[in-house]
Every structure is written in structure tokens, then in C-alpha cells.
Chains A and B, each alone.
Chain A
Amino acid sequence: MSELAAQLREWREAIGARLPPWWSRGLAATAIFIGIVLPFFFSQNSGFMNATIIAVAFAVMSLGLNVVVGFAGLLDLGYVAFYALGAYALGWFGSSFFFQAHVHVGVSGVAATEIGVHLNFVLILIAAAAICAIAGMLIGLPTLRLRGDYIAIVTLAFGEIIDRVAVNGQSVHVGGGMTLTAGNLGISAVDSPSFPGIGQFNLLDLRPWYWLILAILFVVLFVNLRLRDSRLGRAWVALREDEVAAVSMGIPSVRTKLSAYAIGAMFGGMSGAFLGTYYTEVNAGQFQFGFSIFILAMVIIGGLGSIWGAVVGGLLLGYINNYLIPDVLNDLPSKLGLNFSTTTIEYGIFGFLLVLVMVLRPQGLIPERRRRMEMTAEIAAEDAQLVESTVP
């Protein structure tokens, strides 16, 4: 086993030595190009495009959670709260749900004539990001004195409270006969995005949706990459690695942690707002604890703290959940002559895949550079030094 691993590492290093130094940039550029032209290879409303759109939206959330868990090392088990708040931002500001209000900003067509609050999708994205950033800081506050897994349980509690409020929101009145949420009935008939020159999005043509979420992904990705190497990003990593040392070097712990929560939450809210309009309704049933775990699984499977890992993890689990299990594997048992549908063991397959990936590759698919160094090169170097210093 270890010989095999050593052999593999040798090969990888040999390949790495031969590739030109720009190959990873080239790979990224190719991936981006393929990402942009991908819809032309599929029909306008194919099931694969549908799965891709959802997978990309998950990748955005995964990037957001990666800021909190991966960069800053604050285990967040309540990330679904930001999905919920983002989706509700869309439900509140992009539908006829608040029927007493008449606010229309930057919308055209049917939405401009309906009652309720109707904002342009870009404004809704900004609103969702703002609401989630504030909520992220609010949940960050009680966790500041806590450490380790206590943070996990407090964020979990926050996610569950948001979920309960969403489910029971029908009994919370905000005045004028309007309620806070529509509970399990869902806020339906939400506006679909419309942009000048493209027109109103509809679900018969999935391509504009795809490019929209891809654009969001690129923005979030860019922000992530810049943040990682910024002063703030390095402060997050320093806090993650050793809080006492970081604080004594003058890193403002409170501000740094809160900004991680706020920025991570913002991305979740943007993705949530997009998924809200894409699913055409905002239903309280979507925001369960399992979803937080699902997003966390993406980050960890991708490789904690690794930006590209988060993207790959998000896409991978998104595809497994929305394409592989329902579309591809579903008729496999009947082909094999077995009389059951895969959807009944969907959870089992998903769980099995999680166990398999983690046991085979505990550091994640694309480990963060810093962690990779820790796990291989540096340890080997240290061991060598140790041997040298002890052998006379």
C-alpha cells in the first residue's frame, strides 16, 4: 500500500517536473473556457443543464462556506441559514408576497404591473448579500468566546432557529395581514431575472440561467482568490493555525472572525437568492439541517481551505445528487432485472460515497497548498533533520 503510494507520488513528481510552469494557469483557463461554452453542447432544457446549474450554485455556496470553515477554521454547521435568508430575500423583494406594498425598481414586463415588492435581480442579489452579511455577524458574535466544536453547535442552533422561523413564519405577522414567510406552502410565483438585452428568463431555455450563475461563480471565485492572498486572508489562516500567537502578533481577532462570517454568509445568500428564483418558489421545507451538512461535505471532500477544491467538491456532490443518482443510476436496477428504484436507497448511496472518498483521500480531492506541504514535504524534511541531529 505504502509502496504503491510512494510510486504514485514519484510519478506525480516526475510529471510535475516535466510540465511547463504555466500549466496550472492554462488548465484553469481551459476549464473556464469549457465552462462558458458548455451549454452549446446540450439542448436548451436538458436534464444535464438543469443539474449543472444547481451544481454551480452549490459550488458558490461551497466557496462561501470554505471562507468560514476552510480559511478561518470556524466550523459552521448552520450554513443553511444563509441559503434560507438569501432565498427569502428573493421571496420578499421579488414577488407579490408583501401584497400591501407597491415597490418596483428596475423591473419590466409583468413584474412591473403586479402588487408587492419587485426589485431587479441584481438589487436582490445585493440585498441578499447584505442581509446575510449582517446575519453572519450576528451569529458570529456569540461564538467569539467559544472555540472548536462549540462554535459548531452554536451555528447549528442558529441554522435550526432560522429553519423553525421559516417553517412557522406564517404565524408571525408583520402587519397589514402579511406574514413573515409562507411556511411549507412556499412563496411561489417569484420573479425570474430579467436583464436588458436578454429579456425575461424562462425555464424552457436554461442557457441564460447557466451563464448567470456561472458569472456569479466567477465573481465569487475571483473575490476568493484575491482574499486568500490578502492581508485579511492571511490573518484568517493565522487565526486558524494558532489563535493565541496570531492575536499576540496584533491580529484583531474579533474583526477578523466576524469578517469571515460575513463574507462567507454573503456568498451563501447570493447563491440562495439565485436558487430561489431558479426553483420558482421559496419553500421552508428546503432549509433543513441536512443541507448544511451537504455543503460542509463539499468543502471537506474538495479539501479544506482549498478554493479549487471547494469548486470541485461542490460540482461533484451537486452532480451526484442531481444527476448521477436520479438520472443515471435510477434505471440501473431495472436493467439488472432488480425490482426497486434507486431513489429509495439514494441516501445510502450518497453516504457510501462520502465514506469511500474520505477513507481513500482524507485530505480531500485538491488539498490546500499549505496543508499539502504540512502533510508531505515539511514532515519529511523535519524527520530528516531529526535523524541528522540525533545521529552523532
Chain B
Amino acid sequence: MEASSFTPRLPAPAVRPLAAIRRVTGRWGLLVALAALPVYYGIRDLTHGYAAGAIHGHALIHHDLSRLGVNVVEGLSNGAIWALIAIGYTLVYGIIELINFAHGDVFMIGSFTAAGFWGTLGLGLATGPLGLVVGLIATLIVSMLVCGSLNVLIERVAYRPLRGAPKLAPLITAVGFSFILQNVGLLWLGGSPQGVNDLVHQSQTVFTISGVPIQRGYLLALLVMIPLVLGLAWFITNTRPGRAMRATAQDPEAARLMGIDVNRTISLTFLLGGMLAGAAGLVYALYETNIWYFQGFEAGLIAFTAAVMGGIGNVRGAVLGGLIIGVIQSLSDSRMGPQWTEAVVFGYLIVIMILRPRGLLGEETREAG
């Protein structure tokens, strides 16, 4: 009894101020950094107020948090699109450790396919609600299938022949395919942004929560994103192919020895990533109501950043990263001006990388072991 309850008295750890500071920043720094922007602007709105329209020529100054609420809600719905794309990056990175630069452009093709397909179906502003829902679901399926197969095709042509080659070689073929797809988009719809029909009337307010109008576009983005992400999570954790994916991500050699068809599993990963990108493409077209060939490049950059921010290889991390980036973007758009948004997002990325070198939720890759 006596012996088992005896614990050796360890020498008290020496208090080193630098280490203490580091520990505190390690634990709280990230939270502070992420909360800094919304808290600052929230306090500013409450104390200084903001102009919300004008009555009889006098600026109407509000002192509440609803502007911040609008920013956050808008950011979350925007972030839902980034999250869908980011999952594609993170899945592919997790399994073959490749930054799939062509992924953003697959998403762009998804938008183009969706807009083209609903045009073919004859969906227009005059279509009734039932036709619209059925038509859009059909469009969603088509654009997911097109993007999924496109992604599989790219993997087959550009990445599979390079398995076993130096690690950066597939990166260059990915860039090559990104350029090719951009060119396809350029030839398809021309070099300037094209407006598409605002089928769902995305800016129409559905209801208002304490001064924050919830628009149809917001609901659409979240309604598409949440079931798809839950479905994907279920697929990865609960099915045999999903298990094969996780096994391959951990150790492709061992997975192969266990009888997993590694090539097919990798193809499946690209299929899933591409399908989510296709869904994101449709949502983007409906939400932004204009599409152009360069959207994929920009979105890809943001989504990849989101994937890294959340911890690469980690699906939940990618979703979280996407949502956070969406909120940062909309705050910066509305408060600092859209021309600085990119710099703010990337500044945040660097801060997060310094404070938490493995991303918010930790990475899930081979090297992380």
C-alpha cells in the first residue's frame, strides 16, 4: 500500500520567463489572433457606431453588433464554398502528398458545366419552384459527376505515371493541367466574367435574426455544404473503401500488402475531391451569379490556404479553415476594403503557422506519423 501510493518528488521545474511566454502564446495566442479582428470591429461598432443608411438626409448611426453579424454570416456562407474545395486539396494531399494545383480549375469547370447544363435544361428566371429544385438537383449531380471524372482523368494522365518520381515532379504536371483547364475555360466563355441567371434570387432575405438578414444564397451554400461534408465523413469512417483510403494515406506500402488496390483507392480519392469541387462550382455560380475562367485559380489559392490552416490531410480542419477564411475575408472586405483582403488572409495564415505549425486541428499525413 505504502509503496504504491508513493510518488517520487520531482524537482520543481525552474521558472524560465521565455519558456513561460512561449507556453502562454502556444495555448492562447491562436485564440487571441483569431478573435482579434471580430472583437476589435465589434467594440468599434458599439462605441463609434456605423452608418446604416440615411433618413431625411441624416446619416443613421447604429450602435449594435448586427453589422458584425452580417459580416460573420456572409463569411460563413462564403467559407462553405471554400470548405468544399479545401476538402479536395486535403484528401489528395493526405493520400499522395501532392498539392493538386489543378483542383481549383476543376472547380471552375464545375461552375461552367453547371451554368451550361441548367441553360440546356431551360432553367430560367421564370421557372417555377418545383422545376427549379428538380433541375438544380439534376445540375448538381451532373456537375459533380463531370468534375469527379475530370479529376480522376487528370490523376490517370498526369500524376500516376509520376508515382515514384521525385516528389516535386507531379507538382509541375499539376500546374500544367491547371494552365490547360484555364485555357479550356478561356475558350469556353471568353476572358471576362460572365453573368449567369440569378436562379435562386440569392440576395432575397428569407428571415432576419436580430437585425441580421439571412439571404437565400447563405442558406443554399450551407444546405449544400453540410450534407455533403457529413456524407463524406460518414463514407471515410464507416465504409470499406473509406477505410482503404485512410489506410493508404497512412502507409501505401502496408496498405498494398494488406490487399488494398492502392491505385483504385487513389482514383476514388480524386473522384470524391472532384465531386465536392463540382458541387462547390454549382453553389458558386448560383451565389456569385457570375463566373469566369480565372475564378478557379483564386479559389484554389484560398482553399489550399484553408486546408493548410486547418491542418493538411484533416477533413474537419479543412472545413474549419474554409469557414474561418470566409469570415476573415468578409470582415476585411467590408472594413478594410476588398483590395487588401488577400493580404489580410495570407497575413493571418502566416500568424497561424507561427503559432501552430501543424494547422488548427493538426495534420494527418504520413510524415506526421
* 11 extra interface residue pairs, beta carbon distance < 8 Å, beyond A143-B353, A168-B343: A142-B350, A153-B305, A157-B349, A164-B342, A164-B346, A168-B339, A297-B172, A351-B182, A353-B176, A354-B173, A359-B158
Residues of B that sit less than 8 Å from A by CB: 93, 97, 99, 101, 157-158, 161-162, 165-166, 168-173, 175-180, 182-184, 186-187, 301, 304-305, 308, 312, 339-340, 342-343, 346-347, 349-350, 353-354, 357-358, 367
Dominant SS at the B interface?
A: helix
**B175: which of A150, A297, A362, A371 is its contact (CB, 8 Å)?**
A297
What 5 pairs between A and B have smallest CB-CB spacing? A351-B179, A362-B165, A354-B176, A348-B183, A157-B346
Tell yes or no: A281 within 8 A of B by CB: no
List which A329-378 residues lie within 8 A (CB) of chain B: 344-348, 350-355, 358-359, 362-364, 371
A-B contact pairs, 22 of them (CB 8 A): A69-B168, A142-B353, A145-B354, A145-B357, A153-B308, A161-B342, A163-B342, A296-B171, A300-B169, A344-B187, A345-B183, A348-B184, A351-B176, A352-B176, A354-B175, A355-B176, A358-B172, A358-B176, A362-B161, A362-B165, A362-B166, A362-B169
Per the 8 Å Cβ criterion, residues 147-195 of A in contact with B are: 147-150, 152-154, 156-158, 160-161, 163-165, 167-168
Known contacts A297-B175, A355-B173; A150/B343 CB under 8 A: no
Q: Enumerate chain B residues within 8 angstroms of A351, measured Cβ to Cβ.
A: 175-180, 182-183
Complex Cα spacing A274 to B186, Å: 32
Given contacts A142-B354, A355-B173, contact A157 B165 (CB under 8 A): no
B-side contacts of A347, CB under 8 Å: 179-180, 182-183, 186
In whole Å, how far is A6's beta carbon from the nearest beta carbon of chain B?
A: 17
A329 to chain B, nearest CB (A): 14
In contact, B354 and A157 (Cβ under 8 angstroms):
no
Complex contact A289–B166 (CB within 8 A)? no
Q: A362 and B343 in contact (CB under 8 A), knowing A152-B99, A354-B179?
A: no
A87 to chain B minimum Cβ distance, whole angstroms, is: 19
A362:B162 contact, CB within 8 angstroms: yes
- A165 B343 Cβ-Cβ under 8 A: yes
Q: Please, which residue of chain B has its CB at the minimum distance from the CB of A160?
A: B346
Contact of B343 among A149, A164, A359 (CB under 8 A): A164
Residue pair A300, B172 in contact (C-beta under 8 Å): yes
Which residues does chain A contribute within 8 Å of B308, judged by CB atoms? 149-150, 153
